[in-house]
Amino acid sequence: MDFFNQFLDSIKQVVIDAIKEALQQAKQEICEPWVTTKEIAEHLGQSESWVNKNLHIIPHIKHDGSKRFKKSAVDQWRVETYGQNYHSQMVTVNQVKVSSKRPVKFIE
């Protein structure tokens, strides 16, 4: 019976930890303010036009014609999309055709 009780205690602790984490995350999401396009662009280190061009993949809501973002949701999206090394992997690239008709990539 001792093994069984230890097993139950382990399960209880895992459940308690999961509930605490879920409650903490829910509390953070409820208390976290919505930010504007300008604020999320600054947070991401990108321009507002970049954010607007990528709205189809960036989590946001539209309310009365304006877009609002939660930094935590955007950060989660950023890690899922680009990994932990976001700034080193995320580069804006423009393609320009030159006389050789081969695209040349310029990093902004």
In the chain (108 residues long), the average pLDDT of successive 10-residue segments reads 88 94 82 93 95 95 93 92 64 44 53
pLDDT value for 100: 45
pLDDT value for 31: 84
pLDDT value for 48: 96
pLDDT value for 30: 78
For residues 73 and 59, is the Cβ–Cβ distance under 8 A? yes
pLDDT value for 81: 87
Cα gap 18→12, rounded to integer Å:
10
pLDDT value for 93: 44
pLDDT value for 99: 44
* CB proximity list for 104: less than 8 A, separation 6 or greater: 95, 96, 97, 98
